[in-house]
């Protein structure tokens, strides 16, 4: 006689597969804007390439002695305009030839990274702090505060950036790195201020800000705990792209003889020297120009990648 006993169906056969409530909750939890942005950046080739380049440039700027043992200021007139590459000695002082004073072009390219990166980073930090503060106060308080600060911003916005920096730098007899940083930051904060103001005006009407105000949160807490974290995305994008612009501006001012000056080592100074000797020694101009272009391009690529990751519409 056949066995007619039936086995009761497993719980998953009736109600579907059994799932862990914890894993369901974690999967249902929505990622934040920054989490989505990081997930996009990790898959973006522009971000990966630019990040590798920027890390290399930062290492060169901080530890130039790791890449060359030659002095960037030592002059040997016996090597005047010697430009035959020593391919068997990559990394040596004569790898990229010598300039008109017998100084190593390779050593000057390596040591010139520090000045350019320092100027770009310091100017970006200063304009972000000052411009961000002006924009936040203007957008948050509105009224007469907004009118005064917006008028103040528009005055500086009407000044030509490079021309104004030239005028400011002319007033200093000695132009060191900190002088160039202050001159560029003095005129470069306006864009950050306008971006921050627009973002704060949009965010301050959000429900969570109104709830915090209804619960008795103070002005400082609302501004820095509730508004600031939610308006940093566009500011970071503008600051990242502007960093490359400031490096280019420093090189332009140094090329014109109004930026950094000897004994400071700068790509702009070497490009200026090479342009006057381009017929007899093209290598003096080419190599610092290549390094400057790579640096500016790396930061612009990084800024574009960050902008695409933080802009929900682009995703």
In whole angstroms, what is the distance from residue 274 CA to residue 100 CA?
9
pTM attached to this predicted model: 0.79
For residue 260, CA distances in Å to 61, 106, 170, 249 come to 16, 19, 12, 11
pLDDT of 129 reads: 92
pLDDT tens across 215-273, in order?
777 777 777 877 888 788 888 888 888 888 899 888 888 888 888 877 888 888 888 88
Closest CA to 298 of 248, 236, 233, 234: 248
Q: For residue 27, count other CB atoms closer than 10 A to its CB.
A: 9
Q: Which CATH superfamily is domain 36-310 in?
A: MetI-like (1.10.3720.10)
pLDDT of 22 reads: 46
Instruction: Output phi, psi for 104, to 5 deg.
Output: -70, 120
pLDDT of 123 reads: 93
Closest CA to 184 of 120, 263, 228, 269: 120
Three-class DSSP category at 99? coil
In this structure, of 93-97, 121-125, 208-212, 249-253, the range with the lowest mean pLDDT score is: 93-97
In whole angstroms, what is the distance from residue 253 CA to residue 273 CA?
13
Q: Where are the domains of the chain?
A: 36-310
In whole angstroms, what is the distance from residue 43 CA to residue 60 CA?
26
Predicted confidence (pLDDT) at residue 60 exceeds the cutoff of 80: yes
Closest CA to 120 of 273, 264, 299, 290: 299
pLDDT of 58 reads: 92
Q: Could you give the residue ranges of the DSSP H alpha helices within the chain?
A: 11-15, 21-28, 33-41, 45-62, 105-141, 143-157, 161-170, 177-188, 190-203, 207-214, 219-221, 228-255, 267-275, 283-310
Predicted confidence (pLDDT) at residue 185 exceeds the cutoff of 50: yes
Cα R_g (the chain), whole angstroms: 28
pLDDT tens across 75-101, in order?
666 565 555 555 444 445 566 777 767
What is the band of 168 on the pLDDT scale with cuts at 50, 70, 90? confident
pLDDT tens across 66-75, in order?
887 776 666 6
Q: For residue 167, count other CB atoms closer than 10 A to its CB.
A: 14
Q: Which residue is associated with the tokens 């209804």?
A: 214
Q: Taking residues 206-218, report their average pLDDT.
A: 76
pLDDT tens across 276-313, in order?
777 767 777 888 889 899 998 998 888 888 877 776 55
Closest CA to 244 of 295, 306, 304: 295
3-state secondary structure 137-162: HHHHHCHHHHHHHHHHHHHHHCCCHH
Q: Taking residues 39-68, report their average pLDDT.
A: 85
In whole angstroms, what is the distance from residue 137 CA to residue 186 CA?
19
In this structure, of 189-193, 206-210, 288-292, 300-304, the range with the lowest mean pLDDT score is: 206-210
pLDDT of 34 reads: 62
pLDDT tens across 2-35, in order?
444 444 444 444 444 444 444 444 443 445 656 7
């Amino acid at each position: 006689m056949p066995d007619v006993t039936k086995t009761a169906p497993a719980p998953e056969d009736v109600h579907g597969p059994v799932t862990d409530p914890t894993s369901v909750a974690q999967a249902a939890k929505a990622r934040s804007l920054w989490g989505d942005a990081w997930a996009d950046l990790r898959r973006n080739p522009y971000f990966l390439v630019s990040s590798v380049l920027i890390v290399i440039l930062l290492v060169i700027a901080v530890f130039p002695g790791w890449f060359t043992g030659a002095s960037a200021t030592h002059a040997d007139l016996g090597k005047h305009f010697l430009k035959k590459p020593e391919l068997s000695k990559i990394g040596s002082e004569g790898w990229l030839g010598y300039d008109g004073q017998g100084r190593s072009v390779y050593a000057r390219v390596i040591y010139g990274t520090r000045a350019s990166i320092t100027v770009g980073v310091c100017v970006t930090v200063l304009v972000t702090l000052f411009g961000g503060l002006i924009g936040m106060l203007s957008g948050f308080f509105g009224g007469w505060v907004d009118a005064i600060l917006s008028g103040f911003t528009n005055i500086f916005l009407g000044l030509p950036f490079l021309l104004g920096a030239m005028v400011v730098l002319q007033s200093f007899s000695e132009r060191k790195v900190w002088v160039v940083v202050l001159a560029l930051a003095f005129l470069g904060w306006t864009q950050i201020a306008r971006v921050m103001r627009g973002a704060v005006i949009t965010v301050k009407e959000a429900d969570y800000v109104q709830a915090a105000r209804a619960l008795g949160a103070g002005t400082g807490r609302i501004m820095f705990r509730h508004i600031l974290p939610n308006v940093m995305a566009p500011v970071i994008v503008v600051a990242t792209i502007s960093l490359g612009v400031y490096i280019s501006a420093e090189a332009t001012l140094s090329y014109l003889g109004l930026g950094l000056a000897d004994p400071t080592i700068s790509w702009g100074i070497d490009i200026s020297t090479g342009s006057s000797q381009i017929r007899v020694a093209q290598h003096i101009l080419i190599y610092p120009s290549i390094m400057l272009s790579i640096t500016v391009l790396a930061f612009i690529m990084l800024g574009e990648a960050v902008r695409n990751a933080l802009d929900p519409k682009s995703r």
